[in-house]
Amino acid sequence: MNYPEKIREQAEAILVRYPEGRERSALLPLLHLVQSHDGYVSDDGITFCADVLGITKAQVQAVSTFYTMYKREPAGDWLVSVCTNTLCHAKGGQKVFDALSDDLDVGHDETTADGKITLEHAECLAACDYAPVVTVNYEFYDDMDEAKALELVNELKEGRRPIPSRGAPLCTLRELSVQLAGFEEERTAGLEGNAQGDATLAGARLAAEAGIAAPAYDPNAPLLVKEPEEAK
């Protein structure tokens, strides 16, 4: 694929973030960049990243298949992830997934016939204090059940963007990939967001009440400590 000039300019802007000789570290944001254009990491995207970095397509593909945020098949505008790990499962996560699977007529890592919604199991979404949780393009919808999840997906079907329980306003997978590539959100609404959830702050609040604090950190402390001479 002959990527448009804007994508090529953004790729160059990504490269200059890294020291000379370390440009290969730009691979992760470059993969997000091609995903923002294609909607997934296509074979053309693999070739583009390899050419930009001067590495092999096999090396690019190895990275793109390691991280689940890179989709190797066309994905929908809305990636709906349902946590079915231990706590979410115990509180009904699998029932939520099954209800959505039946409603959308898709299974894990499959996309609806209209290409709008991709459904996936998620091993952990790091939000056990709000279990069971669902994310849409990695934005949280907390304390879900089958009815709430179906209502959420119905809003997506109707072209609306339901407000997440906390965090940034919802954006499409392509819009999100632009941000993950390291570029500013172009939508004014995308810069707005609501506060953290109360359950997340409960531990910090209890620690403060008990007078517990993390040890002080000296930002000027060296990161590398020389070994004592006798230890050599």
Q: How far apart are CA 159 and CA 105, in angstroms?
A: 19
User: For 17, which DSSP code?
Assistant: T
Check whether 49 is labelled as a binding-site residue. Answer: no
Check whether 88 is labelled as a binding-site residue. Answer: yes
- Phi, psi torsion values for 111, nearest 5 degrees: -115, 140
CA dist list (Å): 45 to 25, 33, 51, 159, 166:
17, 9, 10, 28, 32
Is residue 129 within 8 A of residue 166, CB to CB? The reply is no
Check whether 171 is labelled as a binding-site residue. Answer: no
Is residue 149 within 8 A of residue 134, CB to CB? The reply is yes
Q: Is 210 helix (H, G, I), strand (E, B) or coil?
A: coil
Check whether 128 is labelled as a binding-site residue. Answer: yes
Binding-site residues for [2Fe-2S] cluster sit at 83, 88, 124, 128
Annotated binding site: 83, 88, 124, 128
